[in-house]
Amino acid sequence: MVALDNVSLQVGRGEIVALCGENGAGKSTLMKILGAVHQDESGKPARRIFNPQSTAEMWMKERSDKTVAVGFFNRTDKTVRVDFAWRELRLGASPSVRDLWIRRDLGRQKNFVAELPAHGGALLRVQ
């Protein structure tokens, strides 16, 4: 089975889009590609981080600009709370965090805390 093949997407400025599909259709993979978790000039792959304290899936990727992309993905049908200490990834006590999807700086944080809606996620740049 191929999750992504010949994909194209056009989204207008300020437009809100929902991405729907069956399990295994490639929704999370597409969002990771669009959010730069899977693509970067460094050529380094993203790696999954196992966090036994959360049901959210977590991925991390070192980027060529010396920042780190971190994605949290909720693959369940219920809202999931994420409370993750950046020091667990050895990113410092209070790194600077930017939400890449909403294009907003979140400031310096000790922890990333969020409520991820069912099948929702967050993609962050940490430095």
pLDDT per residue as tens digits for the range 12-22: 777 777 777 77
CATH T-level fold of 27-126: Immunoglobulin-like (2.60.40)
Gap between the Cα atoms of 48 and 57, Å rounded:
8
pLDDT tens per residue, range 64-74: 888 899 999 99
What proportions of the chain, in percent to the nearest 5, are helix, strand and coil?
Answer: 10, 35, 55
Q: Is the pTM of this model over 0.75?
A: no
- Residue 1 scores a pLDDT above 90: no
One-letter amino acid for residue 125 of the chain? R
- Which helix (H) or strand (E) is 57 found in, with range? strand 57-62
What is the average pLDDT value for the chain, to the nearest integer?
A: 82
Of the listed ranges 61-70, 73-82, 110-119, the one predicted with least confidence: 61-70
- What region, left, alpha or beta, does residue 116 occupy, with left being phi > 0 and alpha being psi -120 to 50 degrees? beta
